[in-house]
């Protein structure tokens, strides 16, 4: 699989309102891609943090030679390059999207 495809895998999203120190906050996570999760009072910020963590974890796993789980087919309709740049992670995936994931191992 190409890096672009790994980044396009639709993982199940779990969202919870949790009480922490007497305040309610939001916790989002991808249980199929541990340890990716994010917590914030604002659910939109938590989602952006979660997506940054997802991209970072997938790239980390590919570089370690430990591909992420593939519980379902990658989506064909996402632009992962744009999404990574939007999240400030463009340099992490730049020139990597069309490479085979296995090529990243050891980098």
Estimate the share of the chain in helix, then strand, then coil, as percent rounded to the nearest 5.
40, 20, 45
Q: From 26, 7, 2, 4, select the one nearest 15 (Cα to Cα).
A: 26
CATH number for the domain that contains residue 70: 3.30.160.250
The answer to whether residue 14 is domain-embedded is yes
In a domain, 106, yes or no: no
Region 62-72: mean pLDDT is: 97
The CA distances from residue 93 to 24, 60, 86, in Å, are 34, 11, 12
The proportion of the chain whose per-residue pLDDT surpasses 70, expressed as a percent, equals 100
At 1 the pLDDT is 95
Split into its structural domains, the chain has a count of 1
Q: What tokens were used for 102? A: 């296995």
Look at residue 21 and tell me whether its pLDDT is greater than 90: no
pLDDT in tens, 24-59: 999 999 999 999 999 999 999 999 999 999 999 999
**Domain of residue 52, residue span:** 3-101
Q: Is residue 43 part of a domain?
A: yes
Using the structure block, give the residue that is written with the tokens 């379902």: 72
Count CB atoms within 10 A of the CB of residue 77: 6
């Amino acid at each position: 699989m190409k890096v672009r495809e790994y980044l396009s895998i639709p993982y199940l999203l779990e969202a919870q309102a949790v009480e922490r120190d007497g305040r309610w906050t939001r916790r989002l996570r991808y249980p199929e891609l541990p340890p990716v999760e994010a917590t914030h009072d604002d659910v939109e910020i938590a989602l952006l943090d979660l997506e940054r963590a997802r991209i970072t974890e997938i790239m980390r796993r590919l570089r370690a030679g430990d591909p992420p789980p593939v519980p379902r087919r990658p989506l064909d309709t996402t632009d992962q390059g744009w999404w990574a740049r939007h999240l400030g992670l463009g340099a992490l995936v730049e020139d990597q999207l069309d490479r085979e994931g296995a090529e990243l191992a050891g980098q």
